[in-house]
Amino acid sequence: MDVEVFINSTRNKIISRHIHNIVVTTWLADWLHTLPFEAEVIWPARWNLVKFLYLFNRYFPVDIIFSYIYIEVPDVEMCRISYFICSVGLILSLGMSEAVIFIRLYALSRQSELFRWWLIVQFFAVHAIMFALLGPFLASFRWVPSPVPQYVACLPVAANTLYATVSFGLLMANETLIVLVMLYIGLMRHRHTRSSLVKIFYRDGLVFFLFLAASSVVNIAILASLPPSNRTLFAIVSSIRCSLAE
């Protein structure tokens, strides 16, 4: 392995380990902070799709668990498997969070039949394309064992990042469109409302959009400008639980 590639990969794997610790700490802090409110409001509520999506996304951090395995386990095959599961878990987590936003938006739209089908088609089309792009992206990765497995696990040295770049761009376009529709509905139908529930929805929706937009922009910049050994550096940041914005 080229010495410079090894140094860059090692440095960025170490940075990823620290970022992972920040992610886990943030997730735990949010969980502890919101647990009393959740126990009071969410747990007694009748089971429905929104409650299932919220609790599943909140209590099954698949991407966080397998990103830890990816960072720590010095085995090439396990790196490949854990990175695959982490990537799938990230898309599922984003999908569940977006599903909650879509359902809320549909409720605020006064439940137009045409609007409901438009949301359904957009949601499944976007995520089907993201899953379709995930396959060739992961297949393009080449991993090598680390010379110092006690410090750094396996190292990525090659990948075709065009698929991931398109996925992040599609995600940002999807969220931008939803926010524009949300603002239009808010201005046309709810601008004079005094409902705190409606205000909370718009606040949370904008926070979620800003997080995803910033995450997508940084990911696209990294994928476009850095060498293969550096391109997984920010991916773990995207795995901060989307339940923080729900």
Mean pLDDT, residues 142-160 taken together: 73
The string of pLDDT tens digits covering residues 30-80 is: 888 888 988 888 889 899 888 888 888 787 776 677 777 776 776 778 878
pLDDT at residue 224, rounded to an integer: 65
Give the confidence band of 229 by pLDDT, cuts at 50, 70, 90.
low
**Residue ranges making up the domain that contains 222:** 3-245
SS (H, E, C) 92-121: HHHHHHHHHHHHHHHHHCCCCHHHHHHHHH
* Residue spans of alpha helices (H) in the chain: 3-41, 49-59, 62-72, 76-108, 113-139, 162-189, 196-225
The string of pLDDT tens digits covering residues 74-83 is: 677 887 888 8
**224/39: higher pLDDT:** 39
Half-sphere exposure of residue 163: CA atoms within 13 angstroms, side-chain side: 16
pLDDT at residue 60, rounded to an integer: 75
Residue 176 burial by Cβ neighbours in a 10 Å radius (0-12, 13-18, 19+): middle
On average, the pLDDT of the chain sits at 77
Distance CA 17, CA 148 (A): 15
CATH number at residue 90: 1.20.1070
The string of pLDDT tens digits covering residues 175-206 is: 888 888 888 877 777 666 666 666 777 777 67
Please give the angle made by the CA atoms of 20, 54 and 95, to the nearest 5 degrees.
70
Percent of the chain with pLDDT over 70: 75
Phi/psi region, residue 110 (left: phi>0; alpha: psi -120 to 50; beta: rest), is left
pLDDT at residue 87, rounded to an integer: 81
Under 8 Å CB-to-CB from 202, ≥6 apart: which residues? Answer: 182, 186
Q: How many domains does the chain have?
A: 1
Half-sphere exposure of residue 89: CA atoms within 13 angstroms, side-chain side: 25
Mean pLDDT, residues 104-128 taken together: 86
Mean pLDDT, residues 109-135 taken together: 88
Distance CA 109, CA 182 (A): 9
Under 8 Å CB-to-CB from 192, ≥6 apart: which residues? Answer: none
